[in-house]
């Protein structure tokens, strides 16, 4: 399968001269499976340009898998062209909530006064599904699973397996909440550990520097040290740092990456993987 990054900014779109190298659009990852099927992971503002491409290709079916409903993962949905046509059958998946259906929760945003048209009047009439969380399931001919992870509100990480290759997507995740040093706990107690274990490719939250994290404990995101250690403990082969803070410029991100490499090579966890910063337009063969 092949992954393409359409948005890797966290929290709020941050376009401008300081973010041209890594991009300002919020979370959206396109996954093209070897069998030709298309999965869209999150619908942040990056979904707008992906939608233009998919409308042209008009695949028979598109599955949009939402990790959670924070706006930076959802606000591109209203501008995702396949939502406005009937060329592709559209399915939208997201974590269940005991309070309201997925459709009703998405309609909180896709309805007046926040959006001009109510979700129920949108031409594609997407089918909504609660993401199964206790079992593996099959979608588009591949195996999927979703794990509840530590982040405010119902949030999952997705694991997609095709022909023995695995991609895991956890853009918003705070594995260290209440823990401190991740190396000090049995890894099986770590949020997200089983879901990420042994992944060939992991896209993971890397929002804060270690210094910033000190002021943001409980906000649901990872420090540079957390993302690196988490990926190493989970024996991930290739780590892609994503959900870049909107306040971080391209130069800030490159400084963060220097620190990440230092930890990757020298924090004492045995591993032999690779690490990189996600950027808009990046393509990864899994
Ligand atoms: Zn987010
Ligand atoms: Zn979030």
- What's the pLDDT tens digit per position in 15-47? 999 999 999 999 999 999 999 999 999 999 999
Is residue 145 within 8 A of residue 136, CB to CB? The reply is yes
Q: Which of 13, 11, 39, 46 is nearest to 280 (CA)?
A: 46
The mean pLDDT of 262-283, rounded to a whole number, is 87
What does the alpha-carbon distance between residue 79 and residue 75 come to, in Å, rounded to a whole number? 8
User: Model confidence at 185, in pLDDT bands (50, 70, 90)?
Assistant: confident
Q: How far, in Å, from the CA of 87 to the mean position of ligand 2?
A: 31
Give SS3 for 63: strand
What does the alpha-carbon distance between residue 90 and residue 88 come to, in Å, rounded to a whole number? 6
Give SS3 for 263: helix
Say what the pLDDT of residue 73 is. Answer: 98
Q: How far, in Å, from the CA of 148 to the mean position of ligand 2?
A: 13
Q: Which of 39-53, 131-145, 218-232, 260-274 is predicted with the least confidence, judged by mean pLDDT?
A: 260-274
Q: Which two tokens stand for residue 125?
A: 């009439």
User: Model confidence at 141, in pLDDT bands (50, 70, 90)?
Assistant: very high
Beta strands at 137-139 and 201-205: parallel, antiparallel or unpaired: unpaired
Q: How far, in Å, from the CA of 167 to the mean position of ligand 2?
A: 20
Q: Is 113 left (phi over 0), alpha (psi -120 to 50) or beta?
A: alpha
- State the chain's mean pLDDT as an integer: 96
Say what the pLDDT of residue 134 is. Answer: 81
What does the alpha-carbon distance between residue 84 and residue 78 come to, in Å, rounded to a whole number? 9
Q: Is 228 left (phi over 0), alpha (psi -120 to 50) or beta?
A: alpha
Say what the pLDDT of residue 177 is. Answer: 87
Q: How far, in Å, from the CA of 151 to the mean position of ligand 1?
A: 9
pLDDT digits (tens, 9 = 90+) for 189-219: 899 999 999 999 999 999 999 999 999 999 9
Q: Supply the DSSP string of 135-204, one letter for each residue.
A: S-EEETTEEEEEEE-SSSSS-EEEEEEETTEEEEEESS--TTTTTSSGGGS-GGGSTTHHHHTT-SEEEE
Q: How far, in Å, from the CA of 149 to the mean position of ligand 1?
A: 13
Q: Which two tokens stand for residue 227?
A: 């993302």
What's the DSSP call for residue 132?
A: P
User: Model confidence at 145, in pLDDT bands (50, 70, 90)?
Assistant: very high
Q: Which domains does the chain have, with CATH numbers?
A: 2-285 (3.60.15.10)
Q: Which of 131, 111, 4, 110 is nearest to 66 (CA)?
A: 131
Say what the pLDDT of residue 272 is. Answer: 72
Count of residues for the chain? 286
Say what the pLDDT of residue 176 is. Answer: 87
**Residue 271, pLDDT above cutoff 80:** no
pLDDT digits (tens, 9 = 90+) for 165-177: 999 999 999 998 8
Q: How far, in Å, from the CA of 220 to the mean position of ligand 1?
A: 9
**Residue 77, pLDDT above cutoff 80:** yes
Contacts of 188 (CB under 8 A, 6+ apart): 194
Q: How far, in Å, from the CA of 172 to the mean position of ligand 2?
A: 5
**Residue 242, pLDDT above cutoff 80:** yes
What does the alpha-carbon distance between residue 96 and residue 183 come to, in Å, rounded to a whole number? 31
Contacts of 126 (CB under 8 A, 6+ apart): 64, 83, 90, 91, 92
């Amino acid at each position: 399968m092949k992954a393409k990054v359409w948005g890797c900014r966290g929290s709020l779109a941050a376009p401008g001269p300081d973010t041209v190298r890594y991009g300002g659009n919020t979370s959206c990852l396109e996954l093209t499976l070897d069998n030709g099927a298309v999965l869209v992971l999150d619908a942040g503002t990056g979904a707008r340009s992906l939608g233009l491409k998919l409308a042209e290709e008009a695949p028979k079916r598109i599955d949009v898998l939402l990790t959670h409903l924070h706006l930076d993962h959802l606000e591109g949905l209203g501008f995702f062209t396949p939502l406005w046509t009937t060329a592709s059958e559209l399915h939208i998946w997201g974590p269940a909530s005991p309070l309201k259906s997925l459709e009703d929760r998405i309609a909180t945003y896709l309805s007046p006064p926040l959006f001009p048209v109510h979700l129920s009047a949108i031409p594609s009439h997407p089918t909504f599904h609660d993401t199964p969380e206790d079992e593996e399931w099959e979608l588009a001919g591949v195996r999927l699973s979703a794990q509840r992870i530590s982040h405010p509100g119902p949030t999952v990480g997705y694991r997609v397996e095709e022909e023995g290759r695995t991609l895991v997507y956890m853009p918003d995740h705070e594995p260290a909440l209440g823990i401190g040093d991740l190396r000090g706990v049995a890894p099986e107690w770590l949020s997200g550990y089983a879901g990420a274990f042994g992944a060939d490719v992991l896209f993971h939250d890397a929002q804060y520097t270690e210094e910033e994290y000190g002021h943001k404990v409980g906000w649901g995101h990872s420090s540079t040290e957390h993302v690196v250690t988490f990926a190493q403990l989970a024996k991930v082969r290739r780590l892609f740092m994503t959900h870049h803070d909107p306040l971080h410029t391209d130069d800030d991100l490159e400084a963060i990456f220097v620190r990440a490499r230092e930890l990757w090579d020298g924090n004492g966890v045995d591993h032999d993987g690779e690490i990189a910063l996600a950027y808009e337009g990046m393509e990864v063969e899994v």
